[in-house]
Structure 1
Amino acid sequence: MNKKLIALALAALPAAAMADVTLYGQIRGGYEYNKTYSSTLSKDSSGKPQGSSEINDWTSRLGFKGSEDLGNGLKAIWQVESRLKIDGSGDPTKQEGNLGGRDTFIGLAGDGWGQIRLGRLSNYPNLDMEQVDPGYYSDQSVGGLGMFTRLDTRVNNAIRYDSPNWYGFSYMALWGADEKRNIATDGSGTRTNNQLINIGLSYENSGYFAKYSFVNQGDSNKVGAGLKDWHRLEAGYNANNIYAAFGYQQVRGYVGGVAGAYSDPAGVLYNVSALNASGASLGSTQAVKTKELALTGGYTFGAFTPYLSYAKGYDLSVGGNTVSKSGYDQFVLGLDYALSKRTDVYTSYGHVNWKADNLTSESSFGLGLIHRF
């Protein structure tokens, strides 16, 4: 009965009242065979991964967006976007299943000066980069470069400005407020200001692109662990059926030892297991530094686009000292087949080789469907 009343109410609304609202989304999912540390479905008694058949969501989403012309080239803009889980599972800590859990904002846009938004907003790598990682996969899979893009996320309590495009050049700036202002864990008794600042620069012209992002995370050294600063550069070419992308990033953060186990709240480490298996010892919070590169190439012929990706994580630096055998090598082979302009079949195989002696290599195979609306 309630559903009928809602339908009648929507039908009774004037057409003009809904003219500026767009419904959009993507439904993405498939079969995966995962042998990974991220998968919780099959591990032996020592925590090492075993093969597991899984039906997984590949980051489906549903959104509403709209705008209102305020005159003189000024518009009010808004968006509410939510994560969907078509396999019936969900993780509240990742905003899955929460209304507005993805980019959700209100803002203003103007002719000649760009746009400004506030709400829950993507950092620059999450929204504007990731050319080195074009595939589809789940959180449990290594069928894409999820380790390289592990810090690509959304920021709560954020304000973001995006400039207009000047002959291919543009930039952005994002500030995320630290509303908690917790007491520092370094014994000083002072309040922290763990605000986040992100600056992004871009140039795109005739298929060529180059993008740079810098992120700083305030007082992460005073809160026990977390991201301190992060640089990423991506460049390449995407035109004339050719897809080529290069990425390099350097991440610095802090991680503390607690009873021999190391936490990783900001994704500073490639994998917590890598540091544990390396035998590194941390008596207190120390700086951790990582360096990685990624390469992806693809070529479209007809409806087929095969991709080949490679990522390399160099050995970690902890307190200024290199931790041997703490890096990784990853290969991903993917194939996209376009059934139509909005529906694709996608398959991939990924393999990660950990350098640490006590870590098992990881692998994933996936086959699924993607539909955009």
Structure 2
Amino acid sequence: MNKKLIALAVAAAIAPAAAMADSGNVSIYGIMDVSYDITDNGNTATAQGIRTQKVSSNSSRLGFKGTEDLGNGLAAIWQIESQINADGNGLSSSATGGTTFGGRNTFAGLSSKTAGTAILGRHDTPYKLATRSLDYFGDGLADNRNLMGQGAGSFDGRQSDVVAYISPTVSGMHAAIAHVSGAETATTSGQAKGGAWSLMGMYDNGPLMASLAYEKHNFGDATAAGSATIVTPTSLVAGTAVVTPGSAATSTGTLGVAGLANRSEKAWKLGVGYKIMPAFEVGFAYEKISNDLGTANADTGHKAYTLGGKYSMGSNDLKLAYTHVGDAAGTSASGAKQWALGVDHNMSKRTKVYAQYVKLSNDTNGAYGLNGAGATGSVTAKGADADPSAWSFGMRHNF
């Protein structure tokens, strides 16, 4: 299966390379992924969609990482990773990280081949890492996170104030657990400030990858103040149904939100990937989100799944994926489905060009969009029942 799950997110934390064992060794790495997108935010019953053409930067990044050998199998590790908006748009956007230095996975910690790794900083949650390798359109407009991981707080996100532990890999198996602290200051003594727990277990050996993940968000007192770590939607309303399907914003919120005092949400997810033959692999993920965020603490959660595959022919990879999110509990016809089709042409081991098409169809009361989960050129749905779509032609280079 695709090893980029570890290589891009936690390679420095899980398995420091022998080549970096020298004291003071620093590696520079990154990705430049830029595309020309033709988008349509979709028609509704009362309005015509708007078509646009734009250049997007799709999770382009620049990073620095290193280790120091401390002896007896122990190493100090660190990483600083920043987003690059290669299209020049959103340079100060809180949603994308903008020009914030170290806005992506940035941490320091200790790593042992026998005892595992502990890190402190900002990082993708174990819940997110559990199935990222199963998304064949990740980081672009067709990312399955357009529909997956959509809660009041992002279940497929990168969080600040993270303390995480990653176990050693034994016979293809490893596990990870992380705690996310809530608001960093409180306005009253003893005030609950919220927080989150995230954990996952994974088996990745030979043709099979399987993972199971769980995450819970505890929202603190309504008057909590301070720096936020869990993203929240803009449509929260105290005392009423607080989650509109598909309305979760990418801007940062707070774990102490009016209307969410002492409430919580949780999700679990199962992922399976299998390489049927050297040229053909498939991936499937299923998740269930539940909460007490509705009126009188009613559940407004939902279920979602994604199924995709990739077939390689010489230098070309053909990709297909289908993602579906069901109705939010208590809101009929609020789901959506997404189809994505693409082809990658690998010009070398580090450079490829690609073409993709994605179409998202909302149900009558659904309002999901092509938010890209990393693309600066996201497409917000025209409104409920809209069917946004996009063509994307781009180039990706790893260095």
Q: Distance in 2 between matches of 1:127 and 1:96?
A: 22
Distance 1:347 1:108 in 2: 41
Partner of 1:29: 34
For residues 41 and 215 of structure 2, the distance between their equivalents in structure 1, rounded to whole angstroms, comes to 29
Matching of residues 2-41 of structure 1 within 5 Å = 20-36=25-41
Helix, strand or coil for the counterpart of 1:300?
strand
Q: Which amino acid aligns with 2:301?
A: K
Structure 1 alignment gaps of length 5 or more: 1-15, 38-42, 257-281
2:265 to 228, 232, 241: 228
Give 2:112's aligned residue. Answer: 110
- Which one has a larger percent strand, Structure 1 or Structure 2? 1
Alignment correspondent of 2:162: 158
Question: Residue type matched to 2:70 in 1?
Answer: L
Query: Aligned partners of 1:243 and 1:98: how far apart in 2?
Result: 37
| Counterpart for residue 313 of structure 1 | 325
* Deviation (angstroms), 1:191: 2.3
Match of 1:248 among 280, 286, 295: 286
* 1:198 to 2:229 alignment: no
Q: 1:139-197 CA distances to partner (integer Å, 9 max, x unpaired)? A: xx34655322553211111111000011111111101112446579xxxx972241110
Q: Percent sequence identity over matched residues?
A: 27
Instruction: Name the residue aligned to 2:387.
Output: 361
1:79 Cα shift?
0.2
The one of 300, 305, 313 aligned to 1:293? 305
Residues 76, 107 of structure 1: 8 Å contact kept: yes
How far apart, CA to CA, are the structure 2 residues paired with 1:240 and 1:58? 28
* Contact kept in structure 1, 2:77 and 2:111, CA below 8 Å: yes
Which residue in the other structure is 2:238 paired with?
none
Q: Post-superposition shift, 1:336?
A: 1.1
Q: State the shift of 1:307 in Å.
A: 0.9
Contact 1:142 1:362 in 2 (8 A): no
Partner SS for 1:126:
helix
Judged with a 3 Å threshold, the aligned counterparts in structure 2 of structure 1 residues 31 and 300 are, in CA distance, closer, same or farther, namely same
How has the CA–CA distance of structure 1 residues 328 and 251 changed in structure 2, closer, same or farther, with 3 Å as cutoff?
same
Give the RMSD, CA atoms, in angstroms: 2.7
How far did 1:117 drift?
0.3
Amino acid at match of 1:117: I
Alignment counterpart, residue 341 of structure 2, candidates 322, 330, 333: 333
TM-score normalized by structure 1? 0.77
In structure 1, C-alpha distance between the alignment counterparts of 2:264 and 2:356, rounded to whole Å: 31
Aligned: 1:170 with 2:174: yes
When normalised by structure 2's length, the TM-score is: 0.73
Asked if the contact 2:353/2:396 (under 8 Å) is kept, the reply is yes
- Report the Cα offset of residue 99 of structure 1: 0.4
> Which one-letter code corresponds to 1:246 in the other structure?
F
Q: Which residue of 2 aligns with 1:264?
A: none
Judge conservation of contact 2:174–2:202 (CA < 8 Å) in 1: yes
1:94 equivalenced with 2:96 (yes/no): yes
For 1:202 and 1:95, the matched residues in 2 are separated by 29
Q: Secondary structure at the match of 1:92?
A: coil
Separation in 1 of the partners of 2:186 and 2:332?
Answer: 35
Worse overlay, 229-238 or 80-89: 229-238
Do the aligned partners of residues 145 and 132 (structure 1) sit closer, same or farther apart at CA in structure 2, a change above 3 Å counting?
farther
Q: Tell me the alpha carbon deviations over residues 308-354 of structure 1, each in whole angstroms, 9 at most, x when there is no partner.
A: 1001111110xxx3x22111111100111100000011111111111
Higher mean alpha-carbon deviation, 127-136 vs 210-219, is at 127-136
Task: Give the structure, 1 or 2, with the largest relative contact order (CA under 8 Å, sep 6 or more).
Answer: 2
Aligned to 2:359: 351
The size of the alignment, in residue pairs, is 316
How far apart, in 1, do the equivalents of 2:346 and 2:268 lie? Answer: 34
**CA shift for structure 1 position 109:** 0.4
